[in-house]
Structure 1
Amino acid sequence: MSKIKSIRLPIEQELRDFEPYFKKSLKSDVPLLGTILNFLYRTKGKQLRPMFVFLSAKLHGETNEFSQLAACSVELLHSATLVHDDVVDESYERRGAFSINALWRNKLAVLVGDYILAKGLLLQLEHKKYNFLHLISRAVQDMSEGEILQVKKSRKLDIDEETYFEIIRKKTASLIATSMAIGAASVTEDPEIPEKMYRIGQNAGIAFQIKDDIFDYQEKGIIGKPTGNDIKEKKITLPLLHVLNNAESGEKRRILRLIKKKNKNREVVKELIQLVIDKGGIEYATEKMNEFKDKAVDALLDFPESEARTSLIELMNYITTRKK
């Protein structure tokens, strides 16, 4: 049995029920929109965030219809942000297939992303789940701020470690944190439990993003995007940041100049990737990733032993050891 199948076992029924629930939420009577949404559904990923929702819910009670609503709300937000991200990053590939903007151009992609986001918010309002709406709205705010901060820093190339962690905490970790918080909120009225799960999810989400940043320095494009993509987009992530922090001033200026002026040059990108590998950037980022993952796991151990807790811990380990 694969690791991911083992993790899914306690919530297998919930995930099966989720498929038609999520697909129904993407329905539209507008023919073109329906076609695009159907394409989006067929190219969906592993649905890690619904797994976080259901496992967090099961850790604190029995899953219910609101757990399905919570998972759908999170996955709709995630889908909307992926569509928007591809427009912002001018990316024409997503999960080994063409992105929405590659097939239907930027204007339609932005509108589709807006539609998906609105569908999620309306679902929460229809069920009068205002606590869900608060959690999702906070995530939208954080993710937008994180994206804008990253764009600003990629222009000036003046990022430090504190800013890097602020960016990934807002841009990526906030949604995994929200997944765990909203899952707990679907089964308990205690406001302290969702906030505790949010903090656990935040640490897991930071570890998840560091792993993604490490992938960018792998020799093979094993996650469906070109090796060195962050360098090409002038994004300085933790592996390269470690090298810059430990470089002599002259070498640091040279690296930044290459990123600013020659970031599209294949040989320059290859040189920078090798520099990060040689100077221990991967090892440093891996160490930091495991620190955040261990914080999340340690906090989970405060809860009673259960299948859900075991699967959540396995999921934390999976996101830091995955191959893609």
Structure 2
Amino acid sequence: MLSINEIKKPIAADIDAFEERFKSSMQSSVPLLDRITHYIVKRKGKQIRPMFVFFSASICGGINESTHRGAALVELLHTATLVHDDVVDNSYQRRGFFSINALWKNKIAVLVGDYLLSKGLLLSIDNNDFELLRIVSEAVKQMSEGELLQIEKVRRMDIGETVYYEVIRQKTASLIASCCACGAASAGADKETIEKMRLFGEKIGIAFQIKDDMFDFGTDDVGKPLGIDIKEKKVTLPLIYSLNNCDAATKKRMINLVKNHNDEAEKIKQIISFVKSSGGLEYAETQMKKYQDEAFEILNTFPEGDSRLGLEQLVRFTTERNK
């Protein structure tokens, strides 16, 4: 599989320019805020979301100034939600670094998240990018709804496949969908093409989340701690399949373990072993590939070229990764 740096070569100059603009978009006259936003920029990830924006714009007509603002808008609003999520989840680490709330406490973290949100809104309003703002705002709304739906269902432990897909469509896939739709809209694509790119991104996002859920039952060297979803009582696709394909007594015992494991390593190990022996991982892999194939079907309706190849490679990197 190609590295992320190899994949982004056709848009490397745009990504470099975006990074500088993203830094400047967070600037403030408040020294504390500048220190925190500088810390956020230093911890940047692989820039997967901006790459989806730029490749989508490229395949739909070309990258322009609006594309750069669309990528910054997505990152600002996404970063704001991550900062708030860490407060909600009492999480003190993200990607191996201390979270904002771990270093500066919850009150400051919430205010920083609000600041980033407002900067994204102003960036769009000041440049009349109302369609981009509509697309990303819809994604943020869906992310919030998905999180609340998951909290409600986890409390009652009644998540089936239908609810699971609705949760991940809203929580994860809506953001990648907004990246692809923003890229298309920024390039001046028509409504039909924008919707096609949105659906393409949604299918990638679902495949990405299924893959991420599988890591919970794999080895502990993939960047995600083993059993972290189980510890948080999240009911994911491998577990759902396993619970739906075992006898009533086993199902009752496993649900009880998930509800009452109390972070005991041996109980979590039992749940992981149950999922592996029940074919949960194989089933999830099949479903992940189904959504990946559906995304490729949409992508293949666009003309061949560097942009389509770049998106195809980015999809494979996102859904076939080992961490």
CA contact (8 A) 2:177 2:198 kept: yes
Write the mapping of 1:81-120 to structure 2, written as runs, cut at 5 A. Answer: 81-120=81-120
Map Cα deviations across residues 21-74 of structure 1 (whole Å, 9 max, x no partner).
Answer: 011111111121111111111111111000000000000112111110011011
Q: By how many angstroms is 1:262 displaced?
A: 1.4
Q: SS at the partner of 2:153?
A: helix
Q: Match for residue 258 of structure 2? A: 259
Map Cα deviations across residues 283-316 of structure 1 (whole Å, 9 max, x no partner).
Answer: 1111101100110011110111010001101111
Write the mapping of 1:11-90 to structure 2, written as runs, cut at 5 A. Answer: 11-90=11-90
Write the mapping of 1:128-147 to structure 2, written as runs, cut at 5 A. Answer: 128-147=128-147
In the alignment, structure 1 residue 167 sits paired with structure 2 residue 173: no
Q: By how many angstroms is 1:114 displaced?
A: 1.5
Q: 1:114 to 1:177 in 2, by over 3 A?
A: same
Q: SS at the partner of 2:235?
A: coil
Q: By how many angstroms is 1:226 displaced?
A: 2.2
CA contact (8 A) 2:74 2:136 kept: yes
In the alignment, structure 1 residue 242 sits paired with structure 2 residue 244: no
1:210 counterpart letter in structure 2: I
Q: SS at the partner of 1:262?
A: coil
Q: 1:60 to 1:189 in 2, by over 3 A?
A: closer
Instruction: Give the whole-Å Cα distance in 1 for the aligned partners of 2:81 and 2:139.
Output: 11
> Which has the higher mean CA deviation after the structures are superposed, 235-244 or 85-94?
85-94
Instruction: Give the whole-Å Cα distance in 1 for the aligned partners of 2:262 and 2:176.
Output: 31
Instruction: Give the whole-Å Cα distance in 2 for the aligned partners of 1:321 and 1:189.
Output: 29
2:174 counterpart letter in structure 1: S
Unaligned runs of at least 5 residues, structure 2: none
Write the mapping of 1:186-225 to structure 2, written as runs, cut at 5 A. Answer: 186-223=186-223, 225=224
CA contact (8 A) 1:184 1:193 kept: yes
Instruction: Give the whole-Å Cα distance in 1 for the aligned partners of 2:317 and 2:133.
Output: 29
Instruction: Give the whole-Å Cα distance in 2 for the aligned partners of 1:161 and 1:176.
Output: 21
Instruction: Give the whole-Å Cα distance in 1 for the aligned partners of 2:138 and 2:146.
Output: 12
Q: By how many angstroms is 1:138 displaced?
A: 0.4
Map Cα deviations across residues 70-126 of structure 1 (whole Å, 9 max, x no partner).
Answer: 110111122111112222222211111111111122222122112111111110000
Q: Alignment identity in percent?
A: 51
The number of aligned residues is: 323
Map Cα deviations across residues 1-20 of structure 1 (whole Å, 9 max, x no partner).
Answer: 94322211211111011110
Q: Match for residue 292 of structure 2? A: 293
Q: SS at the partner of 2:8?
A: helix
2:266 counterpart letter in structure 1: E
Q: SS at the partner of 2:27?
A: coil
Instruction: Give the whole-Å Cα distance in 2 for the aligned partners of 1:169 and 1:221.
Output: 27
CA contact (8 A) 1:146 1:168 kept: yes
CA contact (8 A) 1:234 1:263 kept: no
Map Cα deviations across residues 210-244 of structure 1 (whole Å, 9 max, x no partner).
Answer: 11111111221422x42111111110001111111
Q: By how many angstroms is 1:186 displaced?
A: 0.5
1:290 counterpart letter in structure 2: K
Q: By how many angstroms is 1:263 displaced?
A: 4.2
Instruction: Give the whole-Å Cα distance in 2 for the aligned partners of 1:140 and 1:187.
Output: 22
Q: By how many angstroms is 1:275 displaced?
A: 1.4
CA contact (8 A) 2:2 2:317 kept: no
CA contact (8 A) 1:70 1:182 kept: yes
CA contact (8 A) 1:231 1:263 kept: no
Q: What TM-score do you get using the length of structure 2 for normalisation?
A: 0.97
CA contact (8 A) 2:80 2:117 kept: yes
> Which has the higher mean CA deviation after the structures are superposed, 191-200 or 170-179?
191-200
Q: Match for residue 152 of structure 1? A: 152
Instruction: Give the whole-Å Cα distance in 2 for the aligned partners of 1:2 and 1:187.
Output: 27
Instruction: Give the whole-Å Cα distance in 1 for the aligned partners of 2:63 and 2:50.
Output: 12
CA contact (8 A) 2:61 2:189 kept: no
Q: What TM-score do you get using the length of structure 1 for normalisation?
A: 0.97
